Amino acid sequence: MAEIRCYVDSCEHWGNQMCQAQAIEVRSEDEQKTPKRSDHTMCATFKPPGT
Ligand code: SF4
């Protein structure tokens, strides 16, 4: 898998400035709109710690 740099340190999959998940899923922030900027997308694999 590609290395994924991530700064979301509140995610269960985060470690050492990188995503440690085997795979991630990225979706449009709003399914009714076509993303035009990176902040119109979101990581659906995000998981709060301890859940
Ligand atoms: S799952 Fe998403 S939010 Fe969590 S560390 Fe990986 S890329 Fe970042």
38 alpha carbon to ligand 1 midpoint, in Å?
15
32 alpha carbon to ligand 1 midpoint, in Å?
23
Question: Does ligand 1 come within 6 angstroms of the Cβ of 8?
Answer: yes
Q: For residues 34 and 40, what is the distance between their CA atoms, to the nearest angstrom? A: 8
E strands in the chain:
14-15, 18-19, 26-28, 41-43
Question: Does ligand 1 come within 6 angstroms of the Cβ of 24?
Answer: yes
* Boundaries of domain holding 43: 1-51
Residue nearest to atom 4 of ligand 1 (CA): 46
pLDDT reading at 50 higher than 90: no
Q: How many domains does the chain have?
A: 1
For the stretch 16-48, pLDDT in tens is: 999 999 999 999 999 999 999 999 999 999 999
pLDDT of residue 1: 66
- pTM flag (> 0.75): yes
